[in-house]
Structure 1
Amino acid sequence: MQLYNTLSAKERAALIEKAGKDRLTLSFYKYAKIENPREFRDQLFIVWNQLDVLGRIYVAYEGINAQLSLPADNFEAFKKHLDAIDFLNGVRLNIAIEQDNMSFLKLKIKVRPKIVADGLNDDTFDVRNKGVHVDAQKFNELIDDENTVLVDMRNHYESEIGHFKNAVTPDVDTFRESLDIIEEDLKEHKEDKNLVMYCTGGIRCEKASAYFKHKGFKRVYQLEGGIIEYARQVKALGLENKYLGKNFVFDERRSEKISDDIIAHCHQCGAPCDTHTNCANDACHLLFIQCDACKEAMDNCCSETCKEIHALPYEEQKALRKGQGNSNDIFKKGRADHLPYKKDLRNIFEVFNKRR
């Protein structure tokens, strides 16, 4: 039985276009003990493939993390399937703020060691012993409290285009880097400060909240449902929106607008801009921020070198890539030295120290 994707992104996009159906983009996660992740993964693929689900899903012994899209008219059948799974019955589904039928073009369900890579090897750490979940209203109240430290649990390229007012934004490339940094810089405040965290949909700060409780922090909170649910509640309840800019998302959309503020700059010319792109050179694909003017002038490339390579016939480009591994720049997410307006490094507690 076929248990893997067989269509290219181009082929799938053509089928979506031909079907003419609106699709829903959504995400969910759940920390739970899964005895046989491989078997669970295969069961999901069989059902979801029939429902025309597309997306990126990770399954591990510690739970599931799913970001996906599906035809809107298949939503009820999809929800019914989730509710039939004991630990997913009633799981919160984060519906995307901005919909795009092409947000995902393949169904990828992968078994991973963990659904959020944390670099931890501590058998006494229980990810289910999480911090206090708070809704948008309580969150707004907490972050106005002078005894609160608000921490963004996302990576630097995410917070660069959008974050909450007065949030500490760790200058890290991965989630695992931030855990030790935050613990060290807040070690003197384990009992006297509210540690409030947020992320895209809640999965990273839920693990982080459990970790910091494990490390002795007494007043640990997380924004339930993350930025996605916060934006929905703010709009529905008429609350003050304390988020500035866009929310980075890990699909073809790359971001959702939460406020009209533009807080980032084009990495090539410095103009106000918060649009991420991948370098068009197939040997590079660096993720960076590029304005429309630079996009046109640079042919969607991050450097003159990449522009020259991208202009070559395909076979010549392919020959140049032969035997070459991906440049480390692809993982720098906008830190590449040839970008004159890349984000400057900053101390994690630059904001916190100013407020003390």
Structure 2
Amino acid sequence: MSSDKEKRVKKSKKEKKEKKEKKEKKEKKEKKEKRSASPTSSEPSTKKQKPTSSSSTGPTVTLLLFYQYIEPLWSPSRHKQALSHIQKTGELYNLGGRMRCAREGLNCTITGDREGVENWIKDLKSFDDTFLKTEFKLTHNLPLGQSFPKLNAFKVDEIVNYGLSGSRAPSIGKTAIHLEPKEYNEKMKEKDTVIIDVRNYYESQIGAFKPPIGGAELIDPKMRKSTEFPAWLDLQETKERIKGKNVLMYCTGGVRCERASALLRGKLEGEDRGLGVKGVFQLQGGIHKYIEEFPEGGLWSGKNYTFDKRFAHAGLSLEKEGKVEVVGKCEACLKPWDRFRGKRRCPTCGVPSLICKECVDRDESGDKKIGKDVKCKLCVEEGVESKADWKRREEELMNGYEEKLKVKEREKKRTEKDSRNSENTDTPSTSNDVANSEEANDITANVTTPDSNPNNETRLWIGNLNNKKVTPDNLIQIIPNIKFVQWLYGPDGKGCKGFCFVEMKSEEDAGRAKAGEGVKVFGRPVKINYQEKDGKSSWPPPNAIYY
């Protein structure tokens, strides 16, 4: 019994001790909270405040949009300084938003009070005088709900992700001619002109330019992301559509057109100089500036999709009068709709879904769920059936373009090497240099009469190739006047399978190549057959390599 009594006494003491400690801890916490509620420090609070302005109607927000490319590129250390500067000064002025900072420049969407935003701009100009020429697009007196709660400065390779960083980036010194909105508006009325929408397809679903009848032709590349643009621009179909035309480009604020137009101009001055494009132009300040100068709409139809808290907007006059044309449609019920809301994305390709409020409400309540069969308009048009199907299509397009780039880069290196060798006459050429080897001979060199080509075929099957020595680089030397080749790699992803398909520039060129059949190249007699188009396979294929 005494044992039980001792246990009870010990337990009672322990409970009293714990109760006392708990009480002391609570009192200590209350005292601490009381002290923090009445600070005696003379230092100012660093806690971020809501944006304010002197507006008599209450606090408002200023929105800043801008981009600026830097040439020559910032050094790695200067890039680091720039990233630190924009982050620290942004925090100093209580700004929110997103800042993409690359060695090639800045691309920013920022909100804050008017004074803070304007002071931040002054500091940026002092940091680097390149920004003295920057076009800063400011929108004042927006509601507080359109402010960004946090500031995020990101270190990136490109201020717009085209997959063209480093040596692949076209020079910004070769961008298009920049036209102010009124000049651009007149240019859209001209014939023999095409307009390329450089934005993503889902953005164009709620608004786009609508050129007049007899004027320019609008071309939508139907991209899901900007990295697809270089590959689209390289397609033969695209080249045919811009051939002999004036090319206009536009995007939301202008930044995407800078690299896009520089890429096009670079191609027109090089491999595509024969297209005869008359000129390349872009809209200065983008749709944002055009809508400001044409508040009643001009040749713009619908709304401008934005990446800030406005989400989308139209001309001020149209919005005030409630006359904005709704050009988009709900992907679920197909009723007119132009507001991207919620987190739903296309179940096959992942772009934002355009779903009306009624369908969203019914889905959330369980009344009528939005199934996986509800896809974006582009996936419906293209017949994309699943994520795997979309992934396969994307890889075909991008891998084909990537291979073309590698071929061009190899050709460039070889040309530079040849140039260095020609400058040094004492440097002997090597027998292992396949591109310059006498074995990579022109099989049509001794052809006087083209072979019979009764069906006027231009597509050829080329076989019995030396799979270790024949490459896309030297194939054009072996068989001249190839337009493009479908190169078939070996099982290791290198060399070739020993055969390929080519499209010749003309029926006569195909006949001349056929007449050269049997000539030995790298010790093997080349075999050639006319290849009739069966209408089943895609031709030209997505991975075609053009010469």
- The whole-number CA distance in structure 1 between the counterparts of 2:286 and 2:141 is 15
Q: Choose which of 289, 299, 302 in structure 2 pairs with 1:245.
A: 302
Do structure 1's residue 175 and structure 2's residue 226 form an aligned pair? Answer: yes
* Cα offsets for 1:63-111 (capped at 9, x unmatched): 1100111102323312321321211114111234993433322100001
Cα contact 2:62–2:141 (8 A) shared by 1: no
Query: Residues 100 and 154 from structure 1, CA distance in 2 versus in 1: closer, same or farther, beyond 3 angstroms?
Result: farther
Q: Which residue of the partner structure matches residue 203 of structure 1?
A: 255
Q: Choose which of 244, 250, 253 in structure 2 pairs with 1:192.
A: 244
Query: Residues 264 and 43 from structure 1, CA distance in 2 versus in 1: closer, same or farther, beyond 3 angstroms?
Result: same
Q: Which residue of the partner structure matches residue 490 of structure 2?
A: none
Letter in 2 for 1:244: S
Query: Residues 125 and 300 from structure 1, CA distance in 2 versus in 1: closer, same or farther, beyond 3 angstroms?
Result: farther
Q: 3-state DSSP class of the match of 2:164? A: coil
Q: Choose which of 255, 271, 279 in structure 1 pairs with 2:343.
A: 279
Unpaired runs of 5+ residues, structure 1, are 1-13, 306-335, 348-356
Q: 3-state DSSP class of the match of 1:222? A: strand
Higher mean Cα deviation, 159-168 or 49-58?
159-168
Q: Choose which of 113, 128, 132 in structure 1 pairs with 2:157.
A: 113
- The whole-number CA distance in structure 2 between the counterparts of 1:171 and 1:97 is 33
Query: Residues 242 and 183 from structure 1, CA distance in 2 versus in 1: closer, same or farther, beyond 3 angstroms?
Result: farther
- The whole-number CA distance in structure 1 between the counterparts of 2:107 and 2:332 is 34
Cα contact 2:66–2:134 (8 A) shared by 1: yes
Higher mean Cα deviation, 43-52 or 194-203?
43-52
Q: Which residue of the partner structure matches residue 316 of structure 1?
A: none
Q: 3-state DSSP class of the match of 1:252? A: coil
Cα contact 1:254–1:276 (8 A) shared by 2: yes
Higher mean Cα deviation, 23-32 or 244-253?
244-253
Q: 3-state DSSP class of the match of 2:294? A: helix
Q: Which residue of the partner structure matches residue 234 of structure 1?
A: 294
Q: Give the RMSD, CA atoms, in angstroms.
A: 3.0
Letter in 2 for 1:88: F
Q: Which residue of the partner structure matches residue 145 of structure 2?
A: 102
- The whole-number CA distance in structure 2 between the counterparts of 1:88 and 1:62 is 13
- Pairs within 5 Å for 1:1-356: 16=50, 21-32=59-70, 33-35=73-75, 36-84=78-126, 85-96=128-139, 99-103=142-146, 104-120=148-164, 122-123=167-168, 125-166=170-211, 167-184=218-235, 185-188=237-240, 192-216=244-268, 218-235=278-295, 241-258=298-315, 260-279=324-343, 287-299=352-364, 304=369, 337-339=372-374, 342-343=377-378, 344-345=380-381
TM-score by length of 1: 0.75
Cα contact 2:93–2:116 (8 A) shared by 1: yes
Higher mean Cα deviation, 124-133 or 89-98?
89-98
Q: 3-state DSSP class of the match of 1:345? A: helix
Unpaired runs of 5+ residues, structure 2, are 1-47, 212-217, 269-276, 319-323, 384-547
- Between the aligned residues of both structures, percent identity stands at 26
Q: Tell me by how many angstroms 1:299 deviates.
A: 2.5
Q: 3-state DSSP class of the match of 2:172? A: coil
Relative contact order, CA 8 A, sep 6+: which one is greater?
A: 1
- The whole-number CA distance in structure 2 between the counterparts of 1:170 and 1:189 is 11
Q: Which residue of the partner structure matches residue 311 of structure 1?
A: none
- The whole-number CA distance in structure 2 between the counterparts of 1:18 and 1:190 is 49
* Cα offsets for 1:135-176 (capped at 9, x unmatched): 111111111111110010000111111110152222111112
TM-score by length of 2: 0.50
Q: 3-state DSSP class of the match of 2:50? A: helix
Letter in 1 for 2:357: D
Q: 3-state DSSP class of the match of 1:65? A: strand
Cα contact 1:58–1:110 (8 A) shared by 2: yes
Letter in 2 for 1:338: D
Cα contact 1:126–1:210 (8 A) shared by 2: yes
Q: Tell me by how many angstroms 1:288 deviates.
A: 1.5
Query: Residues 17 and 41 from structure 1, CA distance in 2 versus in 1: closer, same or farther, beyond 3 angstroms?
Result: closer
- The whole-number CA distance in structure 1 between the counterparts of 2:219 and 2:242 is 16
Cα contact 1:131–1:209 (8 A) shared by 2: yes
Q: Tell me by how many angstroms 1:215 deviates.
A: 0.5
- The whole-number CA distance in structure 2 between the counterparts of 1:124 and 1:16 is 40
- The whole-number CA distance in structure 1 between the counterparts of 2:119 and 2:135 is 16
Letter in 2 for 1:288: S
* Cα offsets for 1:31-57 (capped at 9, x unmatched): 102223222101111111111111111
- The whole-number CA distance in structure 1 between the counterparts of 2:164 and 2:376 is 34
Letter in 2 for 1:143: M
Higher mean Cα deviation, 200-209 or 86-95?
86-95
- The whole-number CA distance in structure 2 between the counterparts of 1:58 and 1:127 is 18
Higher mean Cα deviation, 338-347 or 195-204?
338-347
- The whole-number CA distance in structure 1 between the counterparts of 2:200 and 2:131 is 28
- The whole-number CA distance in structure 2 between the counterparts of 1:277 and 1:341 is 14
- The whole-number CA distance in structure 2 between the counterparts of 1:71 and 1:81 is 16
Asked which structure has the greater CA Rg, the reply is 2
Cα contact 1:263–1:272 (8 A) shared by 2: yes
- The whole-number CA distance in structure 2 between the counterparts of 1:15 and 1:188 is 55
Instruction: Write 1 or 2 for the structure with the bigger share of helix.
Output: 2
Q: 3-state DSSP class of the match of 1:287? A: coil
